[in-house]
Amino acid sequence: MNRRILVSPSILSADFSKLGDEIKAVEQAGADFLHIDVMDGHFVPNITIGPMIVEACKKIATIPLDVHLMIAEPDRYLEDFHAAGANILTVHPEATHHLHRTLTRIRELGMQAGAALNPSTGLEAVRYVLAELDILMIMTVNPGFGGQSFIPTMLEKVRSAREMADKSGYPIRIEVDGGVAPSTAPDLICAGADIFVAGSAVFLRPPYSDAINLLRSAETQCRTGE
């Protein structure tokens, strides 16, 4: 196994009363990205933040901003999130009619392009746009709220996503969002995950450096013998 496991702490689980300090703390703890969940109350049953908060995070963070749009009609806001400072912009094929066009535009703006699949959405939704993908995110919970439990059947989906990405020949990273914890990390790494989105597994388990290192160290527990 030659992949380096990257950790993207989700500020959805951070203490927003001291968000700047929280961002600095996870950076110092070794986070690779800062994950920002954008929810609109339409595509998912929750409302979180928008470009203004992303812009505020950009003023503090020195690591890349990993922005996940869980919103209807994401095409309307690509330029806004680019201007706010997003480095990675991930959209849901379930939320856009023309995924190829959306991903192409994200890259044209200079960001890395990601596609996120809800638990019930199959890999066929992205099979013909792999050339436009930098990141394929597998939602291992139903999107909308932090702190949910991992859906066990998503493990096989992660494995299939890894196989599809490898066969494509494109350098696509497999990101996992939902229920990532020390107990689920080993199997996810074995299945082919590259990036862990971790909310409560980091922000609710201080010190943050120990929490992040614990997720990365799960590679040594991989039970498939890779």
Which residues are annotated binding-site positions for substrate?
A: 10, 68, 144-147, 177-179, 199-200
Give binding residues as ranges: 10, 35, 37, 68, 144-147, 177-179, 199-200
37 is catalytic: yes
Annotated active-site residue in 40, 66, 134, 177: 177
Task: Give CA–CA dist 117/190, Å, rounded.
Answer: 20
Task: Give CA–CA dist 8/134, Å, rounded.
Answer: 15
Task: Give CA–CA dist 181/67, Å, rounded.
Answer: 21
CB atoms within 10 A of CB 152: 11
> Which residues touch 217 (CB under 8 Å, ≥6 apart)?
none
The pair of three-digit structure tokens given for residue 70, joined into one six-digit string: 């869980």
Annotated active-site residue in 32, 37, 40, 187: 37
Secondary structure letter of residue 48 according to DSSP: -
Give binding residues for a divalent metal cation as ranges: 35, 37, 68, 177
Q: Which residues are catalytic?
A: 37, 177
